[in-house]
Amino acid sequence: MSQQYIIIIVAIAVMAYMVVRQLQARKIQFPQIFIMPALLVWYTYTNITTEVAKDQASVLLLLALFGAGLLPGLVLGGFRSLLYHLRIDEARGIVLAQRAGVVSIAIWIVLLILKIGATLLTYMTPASMVVTIVLVTTPIHGLFIGNLLSESVGLWLRATAFQQKQVPLQATKY
């Protein structure tokens, strides 16, 4: 089986796993909520530095394109973090985020498909066109990462505030 088919199969498996995880209630705990975004930032950073190392793309241009995608991604992620329903699991004493809603999941699936498509396109493109494809796909990577980062930060901030509101005040003896 060729390497391209293996990459496609792995991408489909990862996408299926991530879709299932979006539909499940998840713990909102620091620092676990930031692990996936941090891994994606590292992966994207290594891809961009690999392209920069080829001296065919300008560092400033790649950063500007990444930032152009990052800003709308931050807005989308912040919006998506507001769509989650939060509840406290009394047994474990943690905040769970669940039922993000159809709009949030649809936005997330579209961004995931764009991210996987951009990654596959980069790896499946002939060497002569890689720089062009990287310039086109860099904003997509920024959009996806901005969405994940902002969603995680927004959920964490909401969960922290939610948990403080839910904790009953204890009587203090004077």
Q: Which of 17, 23, 31 is nearest to 152 (CA)?
A: 31
- Is residue 32 domain-resident? yes
What is the pLDDT at residue 68? 93
Give a yes or no: residue 174 inside a domain. Answer: no
Domain that holds residue 154: 3-165
3-class secondary structure, 172 = coil
DSSP, res 129 = G
Residue 115 identity (one-letter amino acid): K
Least confident of 79-88, 89-98, 130-139, 154-163: 89-98
Number of domains comprising the chain: 1
Residue type, 63: L
Give the C-alpha separation, 10 to 167, whole Å. Answer: 43
145 lies in a domain? yes
Q: What is the pLDDT of residue 173?
A: 43
Confidence band for 52, pLDDT divided at 50, 70 and 90 = low
CA atoms in the 13 A half-sphere facing the CB of 47: 23
What does the pLDDT read at residue 29? 66
Q: How confident is the model over 51-66, as a mean pLDDT?
A: 73
**How large is the angle between the packed helices 3-23 and 102-124, nearest 10 degrees?**
170
Instruction: Judge whether 170 lies within some domain.
Output: no
Is 113 in contact with 144 (CB distance < 8 Å)? Answer: no
Per-residue pLDDT at 118: 81
Domain presence at residue 108: yes
Predicted local confidence at residue 11, as pLDDT: 67
| Cα–Cα distance, 149 to 77 (Å, whole number) | 7
> b/e per residue, 139-151, with b = 16+ CB within 10 A?
bbbbbbbbbbbbb
What pLDDT, on a 0 to 100 scale, did the predictor assign at position 71? 95
Q: Is residue 138 part of a domain?
A: yes
What does the block give as tokens for 134?
């990287």
* pLDDT average, residue stretch 137-155: 87
**pLDDT tens, residue by residue, 70-79:** 999 999 999 9
- Decide if 68 is inside a domain: yes
Peptide bond into 168 cis (omega under 30): no
Helices (H), 26-129: 35-53, 59-82, 102-124
- Eight-class DSSP state of 101: -
Does the pLDDT value for residue 168 go beyond 60?
no
